Structure 1
Amino acid sequence: MSSATTEAGVGGIRRSRRRMLFEDERWLAMALLSPTILLLGLFIAYPFVTGVMLSLSNARVGVPGEFVGFANFARLWNDPIFAKAVGNTFIYTAVTTVFKLALGLWLAVLLNRHFRGKALVRAFILLPFIIPTVLSTFAWKWMFDPTFSVLNWTFRTLGLIDTRINWLGDPDLAMLSVMIVNIWRGVPFYAISLLAGLQTISPDLHEAAAIDGARPWSRFWHITWPLLLPVTMVVVLFSVIQTFADFQLVYVLTAGGPANATHLFATYAYQVAIGTGLLSEGAAISLAMFPVLFLVVIIQLLYIRRVETR
């Protein structure tokens, strides 16, 4: 009888300790966050650390390699293709971001109005963003084909051109084509995100300004845009990160060609690491974009906080 009582008492103490443990917010927070921390460690921290270790070695496919310090990064300074990829990445990101923001904001303003079939139009605009990147890019690659290009056929029918245009074979046109596809795919993300921000703005503000005699452009510039700016900065932040590290779209369209004219950080790193087997140099190219992205993120986050405080 006494042993049973003792076991019951011990079990009660354990249950009470366990209850007290989970009532402590610190232990409860750790218990809830531990699965997320484990996933982040496996899929983000571990690949990042492995990439850093590879970039500091002379590893190749099948060869572990030895520690060489910053030799791989020093070699990149004398690589003309890497310099071209750096310039392409900045131009590609800047141009596409500006056009996606302008077109996305224009579509968001139009979709914020009341008209028949508004829900259907919103769903239709999301199609470029919903379709898998590789699938839609293959369709665009066929449209840019010099022999079977629907664009060339259309331009020749309208009398705008006399000869076929090799969209992906000319270095300048290839970069322009890649930008067009990126803009086409990214505009829906901007439009829907900015539309959500527009719907949080009270119509009473516009009605009051209209009564005071403010014109539509003045109402947009002094009411809509300041209230929409925090949402816009967050959307631009995510877009810049995704565009700066873009791979699928460029690789399917041109694979970095012609003559390395459309290489970005990601495509050139893939070509060096997988195409030639130089894993260490490919890792160094990939990590070269990290300081730039980190700086861009910090600047934009500080600006977002400043805008929200204002």
Structure 2
Amino acid sequence: MGELLDRQGLLAYVLLLPGLLILILFIGYPFVTSLWLAVTDQSVSTSVAHFIGLDNFTDELRSQIFLQTVRNTFVYTGVTVVFKLVLGIGLAVLMNQSFRLKNLARAALLLPWIVPTALSAIAWLWLFDATFSVFNWAIVHSGLADRGINWLGEGSWAMTSIIIANIWRGTPFFAITILAGLQTVERELLDAAAVDGASSWQRFWRITLPLVRPVLLIVLLFSTIWTISDFQLVYVLTRGGPANSTHLFGTLAYDVAVRAGQLSEGAAISLYMFPVLILCVVALLLYFRRSST
């Protein structure tokens, strides 16, 4: 029996090995390389890198563009995650009802999520175009304004635009995942509460929501991580502009490292995402732990 267990344990390690190698190759190696670059003065124009310690990190903390990027990231992440959560819960509750063509509606709900990010960003680029924007056409022809909005050319409107696009793309993930959680709630509990006189809102707030709390935690964690590290959607729409008003960690790191050739500074900027991610994840975990006690 012990020999069989040993063989099974060995087989488990053998089966895990390909996945482990992929993680090391595509995550571990780039991460270690970024750590090394961040503590050197490596750039495209230098052939030999010199160790400079934490200078790149401290220099970024004195950079107004970097500090603005941090603010942009928190605003972008906070607003989009809240809206995606609220809309996702609403759509999940709606899709949990019985109606005709329910399966077709659920499949259609997934479309924004499964469409490649760059492709959907190009579609939004056309929707927000200063000349051909469908939104501007609707605003002008409805009499709300004399002329259209420069969606991607003004700082506040540019941030609003990428927030709208992110909410549109990310809400289906919330909706479908929460819907899966709703379908695990036993109908008998809701029926018993209804017999006791609980309203629909009370049944949802007191029974359904606490039971799907673990699902909410998972989708919030994943969405927060993905939103903080967002790159494609923002870069296609605004490239961090105008005047750095929509730069996030990913877009700023790309501009500094690739376009400006300052590889070490770009690596330092990208590594700043990790403490921010850890802070957000810990805050979410503490909030859910406190609210569940």
Q: TM-score, normalized by length of structure 2?
A: 0.95
Out of 189, 202, 205, the residue aligned to residue 218 of structure 1 is: 202
- Are 1:145 and 2:129 an aligned pair? yes
Which residue in 1 is equivalent to 2:34? 51
* 1:17-45 deviation digits (Å, cap 9, x = unpaired): xx948734543332222222211111111
Question: Percent of counterpart pairs with the same letter?
Answer: 56
- Are 1:103 and 2:84 an aligned pair? no
Q: Distance in 2 between matches of 1:281 and 1:138?
A: 29
Number of residue pairs matched? Answer: 291
- Are 1:242 and 2:244 an aligned pair? no
- Are 1:113 and 2:97 an aligned pair? yes
Q: Secondary structure at the match of 1:160?
A: coil
Mean CA deviation greater in 295-304 or 147-156: 295-304
Out of 11, 16, 20, the residue aligned to residue 37 of structure 1 is: 20
Out of 131, 153, 156, the residue aligned to residue 172 of structure 1 is: 156
Question: What code does the residue aligned with 1:276 have?
Answer: A
Contact preservation (8 Å) 1:174, 1:254: yes
Q: Secondary structure at the match of 1:262?
A: coil
Q: Distance in 2 between matches of 1:114 and 1:307?
A: 31
Q: Secondary structure at the match of 1:67?
A: coil
* 1:31-69 deviation digits (Å, cap 9, x = unpaired): 222222211111111100000000000001152411110
Contact preservation (8 Å) 2:125, 2:237: yes
Which residue in 1 is equivalent to 2:145? 161
Q: Distance in 1 between matches of 2:51 and 2:176?
A: 48
Mean CA deviation greater in 294-303 or 212-221: 294-303
Q: Alpha carbons of 1:24 and 1:298: their partners in 2 closer, same or farther (altered >3 Å)?
A: farther
Q: CA deviation at 1:295?
A: 3.0
Q: Which runs of 5+ in 1 are unaligned?
A: 1-18
Q: Secondary structure at the match of 1:119?
A: helix
- Compute the RMSD of aligned alpha carbons: 1.8
Which residue in 2 is equivalent to 1:209? 193
Q: Distance in 2 between matches of 1:306 and 1:259?
A: 40
* 1:145-201 deviation digits (Å, cap 9, x = unpaired): 111111111111111110121010010000001000000000000000000000000
Larger Rg: 1
Contact preservation (8 Å) 1:93, 1:240: yes
Which residue in 2 is equivalent to 1:16? none
